[in-house]
């Protein structure tokens, strides 16, 4: 009974704590509801895809795939190349995905093979692997691009003639997916104001009279994310998905049931890496600038933190966790600096606070997971001993 | 014979050693002085040695590589900043106490002459108990999460660093050399130790062979003393029990070793060594780096000991010495030699690939069945 209560609390503690923090921080920040909703919808469009890419390795019992940054790097290479070739708009995004896919597949296969050699330590290994491939990525982008890999556009290169600049503006594909089906939800006044601004066309305007301002909806991005969710639901039911779940339960049982464990694990990581590649491309088309050497750095950390804040654990994560996580994590992201500033007069504190929370939440989730697993192991051992004693 | 040696040393280590050798051979041809490089390598060796040494107890006790080193570093930073904050008070109190207890040699003159050493010493004295307490909690935590120590250690390190970012801003430090000038509160991101204990170890007993080659004897002796202490400790009854707890926990428990207790001690020891290590590093580097400074400091230390031949569950002093020398050698040589050759700075990329490649290699090796 107490045990069950403990489990319920442990399972939902993280989202609950976040809701409480937000409940205090939102009034402190002084932001309007419309502004917050607008920001949240933008961020759901920007980040959900990346976070969804984490689900499949968790299903296969491989824990949080810190190696998703590999996919992010593949996506960035695709974006750099289309920038150089001058392909813009939706064709540019599709081409970037097409370039990124084979790179992501190769990196994913490499990552999967490495992780198969480090069973039981997948997370720390994929984490270090991220750093390692980051070194390789930097070598490619900083030294080989413009030297071995032909780059013709001089605005992309450093003044020395090779190596890509630190900040690349992605004006060509900025917002192309978000604004493919421009949609606005607005009050009567808000809609008038919004449409009166030059260049603000809307494919679809929805009137909500009580709303103060106007909220832009990145409809096409949300549709893509929705399709992806459908894909995951469908994938779980396929033979491959079932195999992965079996492996997640017990590798040895799955192995004796005739499932090719290592191969399936590699496939799980490949899928995750490729999806992370697309996720990063969607993320960057929303941001509009690519920080060549930093954009991918935090991708893994922020995505994982968001997923965990949504109530996922190392061994179990659902689509609902993704969206709850995005909303709660980014709510804090938006309000923390301002709340910190209004509370103690220093925005830097709020900034550090949200960094602390991101890392702290990952630490907490990992500890809870390991702790629970060890307790379960202990309990099963005890029950085994008890049965023997009874016989 | 050769294959046996290669087998024992492992391919990555040999490749890196050969690479370093090649760099030293190539150095004169591109106008880099070998003696300057050697001198730099020695300084960096001394700077980082103690932090690498901090890996040994935890690895031996079966807690894995100490990715949570930043926790120890934070204790060291607290020691350093508190020692500067109360520098003047410490000096006057010391003379007062000497008068009270009739210690005749500890005069005002003595204190004035040894200001740097006393400041550095008090930083260590303050840092060690803090590190021990933090290490105790950290050890208790790691005991509850057996099997996942390394990942959790990483995030314990990260979250404690980011927590301290807030604390550095809020703690009531007053010393004008340390707080932001215009705000009057909150510590600066880098604090110079000049005028306190800059090069206190580097310069003591330093031998100048020529104008380019200087041996930081004091720092090397300090490292040697720490290494000997760790070596002796690992051979005491507690140290042996610790190794037993690491290599076979079930067996150790059967022979009456309290495994959890041993693991806690090892984590405390690692954390304390990390605290001392960062102080040694700072006195040579010249600055106390706060805020995100300690964030990635565990990775070079982890990579060094692995480069020296340690594995995830076995490490010794020799691994520390060889590994730190190789790793720091590469860090010193690649910027100077490769830059003069290719006209670009590839050191950062090489550092990333070598250090993380080494950690990956160690993690993916089959150690036990």
In Å, how far from its chain's centre is CA A344? 31
Arithmetic mean of pLDDT, A9-32: 79
pLDDT digits over A115-140, tens only? 988 887 888 888 889 989 999 998 88
Separation between Cα atoms, residue A325 and residue A44, nearest integer Å? 10
| Band (B368; pLDDT cuts 50, 70, 90) | very low
Selecting from B141, B186, B352 the residue whose C-beta is nearest the C-beta of A138 gives B352
Separation between Cα atoms, residue B97 and residue B95, nearest integer Å? 5
Of chain A residues 128-187, which have a CB less than 8 A from chain B? 128-129, 131-132, 134-136, 138-139, 142-143, 160
Helices (H), A168-260: 188-196, 219-237, 239-249, 251-256
| Band (A309; pLDDT cuts 50, 70, 90) | confident
Which tokens hold the place of B313?
A: 């569950």
Give how far A373 is from chain B: nearest CA, Å: 9
- CATH architecture classification, B10-364: Orthogonal Bundle (1.10)
All residues of chain B having their beta carbon less than 8 Å from the beta carbon of residue A128 are: 356, 359-360, 363
Full-model pTM: 0.85
Percentage, residues of chain A above pLDDT 90: 24
Asked if residue B333 lies in contact with residue B20, where contact means CB atoms within 8 angstroms, the answer is yes
What letter would DSSP give residue A143?
I
A366 touches chain B (CB under 8 A): yes
Asked if residue B143 lies in contact with residue B84, where contact means CB atoms within 8 angstroms, the answer is no
- Tell me phi and psi for residue A164, to 5 degrees: -90, 145
Residue A198: count other Cβ atoms within 10 Å of its Cβ: 4
Asked if residue B324 lies in contact with residue B308, where contact means CB atoms within 8 angstroms, the answer is yes
Residue located via tokens 């110079």: B192
pLDDT digits over B235-281, tens only? 999 889 989 888 888 888 888 888 899 999 999 999 999 999 999 99
Separation between Cα atoms, residue B11 and residue A250, nearest integer Å? 34
Asked if residue B76 lies in contact with residue B278, where contact means CB atoms within 8 angstroms, the answer is yes
B138 touches chain A (CB under 8 A): no
Q: Which residues contact B185 (CB under 8 A, 6 or more apart)?
A: B172, B173, B179
Which tokens hold the place of A325?
A: 């996580």
Separation between Cα atoms, residue A157 and residue A142, nearest integer Å? 9
CB contact under 8 A, A352 and B158: no
CB contact under 8 A, B166 and A356: yes
Q: Per this entry, what is the length of chain A?
A: 391
Q: Which residues contact B253 (CB under 8 A, 6 or more apart)?
A: B259
The ipTM, to two decimals, is 0.82
Asked if residue B155 lies in contact with residue A123, where contact means CB atoms within 8 angstroms, the answer is no
Cα-based angle A183, A187, A190 (whole degrees, multiple of 5): 80
Separation between Cα atoms, residue B121 and residue B111, nearest integer Å? 12
* Window from A203-212, A237-246, B293-302 with minimum mean pLDDT: A203-212
DSSP assignment of A286-298 equals HH-EEETTTTTTT
Separation between Cα atoms, residue A363 and residue A80, nearest integer Å? 34
Q: What residue of A is the nearest CA neighbor of B292?
A: A352
Structural domain boundaries in chain B: 10-364
pLDDT digits over B171-211, tens only? 888 888 888 877 777 888 888 888 888 887 877 777 777 77
| Band (A198; pLDDT cuts 50, 70, 90) | low
CB contact under 8 A, A123 and B360: no
| Band (A354; pLDDT cuts 50, 70, 90) | confident
Separation between Cα atoms, residue A311 and residue A322, nearest integer Å? 9
Separation between Cα atoms, residue A47 and residue A333, nearest integer Å? 13
Among A159-173, B222-236, B282-296, name the most confident range.
B222-236
B364 touches chain A (CB under 8 A): yes
B145 touches chain A (CB under 8 A): yes
Residues in a beta bridge with B311: B314
Residues in a beta bridge with B187: B179
Q: Which residues contact B283 (CB under 8 A, 6 or more apart)?
A: B120, B193, B197, B198, B199, B200, B201, B202
Separation between Cα atoms, residue B124 and residue B50, nearest integer Å? 13
Give how far A368 is from chain B: nearest CA, Å: 8
B18 touches chain A (CB under 8 A): no
Sign of the dihedral defined by the CA atoms of residues A23, A25, A30, A35, in that order: negative
Which tokens hold the place of A290?
A: 């690519």
- List the end-to-end C-alpha distance of chain B, in Å, as a whole number: 27
Separation between Cα atoms, residue B286 and residue B275, nearest integer Å? 16
pLDDT of A386 > 70? The answer is no
């Amino acid at each position: 009974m107490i045990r069950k209560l403990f489990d319920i609390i442990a399972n939902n503690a993280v989202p609950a704590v976040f809701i409480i923090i937000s409940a205090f921080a939102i009034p402190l920040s002084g932001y309007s509801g419309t502004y917050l909703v607008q920001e949240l919808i933008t961020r759901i469009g920007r980040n959900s895809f990346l976070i969804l890419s984490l689900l499949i390795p968790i299903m296969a019992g491989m824990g949080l795939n810190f190696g998703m940054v590999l996919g992010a790097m593949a996506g960035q290479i695709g974006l750099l190349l289309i920038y150089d070739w001058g392909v813009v708009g939706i064709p540019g995004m599709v081409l970037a995905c097409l370039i990124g896919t084979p790179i992501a597949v190769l990196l994913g296969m490499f990552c999967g093979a490495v992780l198969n050699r480090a069973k039981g330590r997948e997370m720390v290994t994929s984490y270090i692997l991220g750093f390692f491939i980051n070194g390789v990525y930097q070598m490619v982008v900083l030294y080989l691009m413009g030297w071995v890999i032909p780059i013709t556009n001089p605005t992309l290169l450093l003044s020395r003639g090779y190596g890509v600049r630190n900040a690349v503006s992605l004006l060509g594909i900025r917002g192309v997916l978000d604004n493919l089906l421009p949609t606005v939800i607005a009050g009567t006044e808000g809609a008038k104001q919004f449409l009166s601004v030059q260049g603000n066309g809307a494919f679809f305007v929805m009137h909500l009279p009580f709303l103060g301002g106007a909220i832009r909806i990145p409809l096409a991005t949300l549709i893509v994310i929705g399709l992806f969710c459908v894909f995951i639901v469908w994938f779980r039911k396929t033979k491959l998905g079932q195999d992965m779940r079996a492996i997640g339960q017990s590798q040895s049982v799955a192995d004796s049931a005739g499932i090719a464990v290592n191969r399936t694990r590699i496939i799980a990581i490949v899928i995750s890496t490729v999806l992370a590649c697309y996720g990063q491309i969607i993320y960057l088309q929303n941001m509009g600038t690519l920080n060549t050497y930093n954009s991918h750095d935090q991708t893994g950390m922020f995505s994982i933190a968001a997923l965990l804040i949504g109530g996922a654990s190392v061994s179990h994560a659902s689509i609902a966790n993704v969206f709850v996580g995005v909303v709660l994590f980014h709510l804090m992201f938006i309000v923390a600096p301002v709340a910190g500033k209004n509370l103690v007069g220093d925005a830097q504190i709020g900034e550090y606070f949200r960094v602390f929370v991101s890392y702290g939440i990952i630490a907490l989730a990992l500890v809870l997971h390991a702790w629970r697993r060890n307790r379960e192991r202990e309990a099963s051992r005890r029950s085994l001993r008890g049965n023997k004693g009874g016989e | 014979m050769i294959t046996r040696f290669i087998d024992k040393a492992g391919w990555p280590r040999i490749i890196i050693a050969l690479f370093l050798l090649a760099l030293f051979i190539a150095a004169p041809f591109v106008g880099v002085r070998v003696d300057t490089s050697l001198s730099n390598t020695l300084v960096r060796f001394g700077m980082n040695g103690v932090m690498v040494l901090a890996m040994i107890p935890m690895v031996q006790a079966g807690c894995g590589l100490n990715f949570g080193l930043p926790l120890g570093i934070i204790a060291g930073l607290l020691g350093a900043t508190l020692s500067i904050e109360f520098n003047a008070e410490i000096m006057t109190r010391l003379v007062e106490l000497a008068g009270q207890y009739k210690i005749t040699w500890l005069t005002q003159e003595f204190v004035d002459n040894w200001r740097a050493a006393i400041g550095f010493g008090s930083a260590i004295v303050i840092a060690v108990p803090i590190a021990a307490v933090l290490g105790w909690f950290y050890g208790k935590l790691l005991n509850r999460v057996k099997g996942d120590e390394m990942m959790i250690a990483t995030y314990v390190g990260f979250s404690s660093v980011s927590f301290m970012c807030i604390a550095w801003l809020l703690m009531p430090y007053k010393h004008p050399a340390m707080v932001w000038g215009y705000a009057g509160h909150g510590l600066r991101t880098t604090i110079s130790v000049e005028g306190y204990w800059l090069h206190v170890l580097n310069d003591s007993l330093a031998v100048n062979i020529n104008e380019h080659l200087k041996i930081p004897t004091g720092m090397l002796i300090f490292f040697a003393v720490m290494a000997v202490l760790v070596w002796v400790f690992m051979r005491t009854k507690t140290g042996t029990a610790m190794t037993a707890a690491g290599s076979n926990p079930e067996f150790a428990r059967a022979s009456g070793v309290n495994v959890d207790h041993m693991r806690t001690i090892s984590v405390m020891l690692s954390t304390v060594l990390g605290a001392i290590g960062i102080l040694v590093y700072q006195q040579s580097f010249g600055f106390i780096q706060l805020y995100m400074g300690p964030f990635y400091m565990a990775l070079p230390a982890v990579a060094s000991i692995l480069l020296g031949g340690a594995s995830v569950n076995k490490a010794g002093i020799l691994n520390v010495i060889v590994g730190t020398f190789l790793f720091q050698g590469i860090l010193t040589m690649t910027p100077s030699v490769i830059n003069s050759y290719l006209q670009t700075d590839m050191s950062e990329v090489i550092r990333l690939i070598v250090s993380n490649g080494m950690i990956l290699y160690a993690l993916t090796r089959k150690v036990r069945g």
